[in-house]
Amino acid sequence: MAILPIRIWGDPVLQSLAQPVTEITEEIRALVANMFETMDAAPGVGLAAPQVGVPLRIYTYTYFDDDDEPWRGHILNPELWMEPIAPGDPDPATEAEGCLSFPEHKFPLRRADHVRVSGTNLDGQEVSIDVRGWRARIMQHEFDHLNGIVYIQRLIEPYTAQTLSIIEESGWGVPELSWTPEA
């Protein structure tokens, strides 16, 4: 297994439509294993294949809260249903989201509280996920990545302006930038 470089905002793969996985090969298995290792090393609660430069419809996720078992998995070719997003502005205290492709920053974003995701796993079995709250947020965030959407594109002001300043100051927004988590 290996920790993979994570593409940073500006790389075209992050804004491209990822393609369905048509065959589960050894390469795909290795990719998913490496995505888990990379996500854990970052650390992050989710990682989509485009973030490691692979334009395929795959993501991994992991989330721990106080009173639950660790929640972890991967999904291929997901489809997503979500309930309508509640109106109003996002709460910076409880709805701040981050992304490994826009590292070391968080911005408030309103998301649907409840989603259902279906797809398959590496064994070709059907996977069906029905979650709320932060888990639902993670599903929406990772699913977005497969459609070429990074969460900063969904922000409202003043957060959009803040991201533009960060991009300029950091020299992001150009192709082939990446960072690699430490083991």
The set of catalytic residues is 142
Following CA atoms 158, 160, 165, 166 in sequence, which dihedral angle do they give, to the nearest 10 degrees? Answer: 120
Interaction residues for Zn ion, span 97-136 (CB under 5 A): 99
Helix, strand, coil fractions of the chain, as percent rounded to 5? 30, 30, 40
Structure tokens given for 141: 């965030």
Nearest residue to Zn ion by CB is 99
Nearer to Zn ion, 99 or 139 (CB): 99
| Span of 80-88, 95-103, 119-127, 158-166 interacting with Zn ion by CB under 5 A | 95-103
CB of 150 to Zn ion, least distance (A): 6
Minimum distance from CB of 123 to Zn ion (Å)?
26
Question: Alpha-carbon distance 124 to 148, whole Å?
Answer: 25
Contact 78, 49 (CB under 8 A): no
Report the residue number, 56 or 124, with the smaller CB distance to Zn ion: 56
3-state secondary structure of 173: coil
The CA distance from 136 to 128, in Å, is 13
Stretch that binds Zn ion, among 69-77, 93-101, 120-128, 165-173 (CB under 5 A): 93-101
| Shortest CB 125 distance to Zn ion, Å | 26
Give 28 or 49: the residue with its C-beta nearer to Zn ion. 49
Provide the binding-site residues for Zn ion, judged by CB under 5 A. Answer: 99
